[in-house]
Structure 1
Amino acid sequence: MFKKLMLTGCTLLLLTACGTDTTEENVSTTNQPSSMSEANTTSNTNNESNAVKDSSNAGTPNTSTTVDITNPTVSMSEAVNVFKEAHPDAKIESVDLDTDFGRLHYDIDGFDSSKEYETEIDATTKEIKENEVETERDTDESLDFSAIIDPDKAIEIASTKTEVEGLSPTGWSLEADDGKQTYTIEYEKNDSDIEIKINATTKEILEVEIDD
């Protein structure tokens, strides 16, 4: 009888131990996170982050856009008027349209009976950026704006030359020199600078100069 009780007690202990192990195993299985679920969550987070970056980049403007000198906000005649307001008695010897670090501006040189003037005017705002005055004067020739063609016409004429086919001008200048009023339209091709000189009154192409 005692032996039967001992066997019965051992059996109960074994069953209890097995039940405890099974319960702990089930609890362990329930609490253990799924590595597949973690991987999917990480992947989705990365995809969302990349999508945000792509969206942000899509809205970023291209800062390397080339400045268009063929259609400035401020025309040559408007820039000339700004110069004349600053120097009412001055005559104008030359006008340049050029860019510095993407900023389009006019450089106007003029003179009166006793001084010479060099004035830089913003081609977008009409603001005078620089205004230099020299007390010594050696210039006698001045531009007659009533007799010359507009810059866009000079650019149109220059663009007919095969040397600049497909190119956009990078700048231009207009000056009175040696009895002539002359436009110089500037281009860049590879490592070469190309200048086309045009008579501003007769529209004649005077010279095509290539500087390698």
Structure 2
Amino acid sequence: MTTVMVGTLAACGDDDANGDNNNNGNNTQQTTDSGSSSNTTTTDLNNKKFSMSYTEAIEIFKNKHPKTDITSVELSQELGKFVYTIDGVDDSSEFEMKFDADTKAILQDNNEKLDREDANGVERANEKLDLTGIKTPQEAMTAALKQQAGTVKEWSIDREMNQTYFSIQVMNGTQEVEVKLDSKTLAVLSTEQDD
């Protein structure tokens, strides 16, 4: 997954520089001296409004891939853009779409075949998110900041051991803390400081 994400980030950087070409991520050099504060400071997502909501991103994903189940939703900053990443799976493939949260542009739409052990509904059963009746990301960020002071760097909705939860990454100075919250009750499941 890390290899896929590194390749994805490189490909997104190439799209920024060269339009919509497909060069397999060979050009990974990025500069951060462009004077844009978004490359050097953390924007507090708790106070940021976007043109696109995460539910709109999910709806576009589901319309494009109607037979899939959502396995992960994330809002993070990539190469100076705020990006929704929606992951999903069907019985034979996994899918990933990325959207620019400010412009609503589709930045990426990839899929790949599942390994034999994950096919035929295995990964779907293990990873499918239960999005019914969950709290909003805004509510989750507010709850996380009551637990850990700081600014919200990114958030995601994930599943582990049959539990759909919010993961809120909070920056307090140079310290990053992950607060996991039950997606329906916002009960704190764990707080973990990254080294």
TM-score (norm: length of structure 2): 0.70
Whether contact under 8 Å (1:118, 1:132) holds in the other structure is yes
SS where residue 80 of structure 1 aligns?
helix
Q: Which residue of 2 aligns with 1:131?
A: 109
Whether contact under 8 Å (2:43, 2:151) holds in the other structure is no
Q: 2:55 aligns with which of 65, 73, 77?
A: 77
Q: Percent identity?
A: 32
Structure whose residues are more often helix by fraction: 1
Deviation at 1:127, TM superposition (A): 1.7
Deviation at 1:118, TM superposition (A): 1.3
Deviation at 1:191, TM superposition (A): 3.0
Structure whose residues are more often strand by fraction: 2
Q: 1:92 aligns with which of 56, 67, 70?
A: 70
Q: Which residue of 2 aligns with 1:107?
A: 85
One-letter code of the match for 2:52? V
CA RMSD, Structure 1 to Structure 2 (Å): 1.7
Q: Which residue of 1 aligns with 2:162?
A: 179
Greater RCO (Cα-Cα under 8 Å, separation 6 or more): 2
Q: Which residue of 1 aligns with 2:136?
A: 150
Q: Which residue of 1 aligns with 2:23?
A: none
Deviation at 1:117, TM superposition (A): 0.4
Q: Which residue of 1 aligns with 2:174?
A: 191
Unmatched 5+ residue regions in structure 1?
1-61
Deviation at 1:84, TM superposition (A): 0.9
Tell me how many residue pairs correspond in the alignment. 148
One-letter code of the match for 1:64? S
Higher mean alpha-carbon deviation, 178-187 vs 71-80, is at 71-80
Deviation at 1:69, TM superposition (A): 2.3
One-letter code of the match for 1:174? I
Deviation at 1:131, TM superposition (A): 1.4
SS where residue 170 of structure 1 aligns?
strand
SS where residue 132 of structure 1 aligns?
strand
Unmatched 5+ residue regions in structure 2?
1-34
TM-score (norm: length of structure 1): 0.65
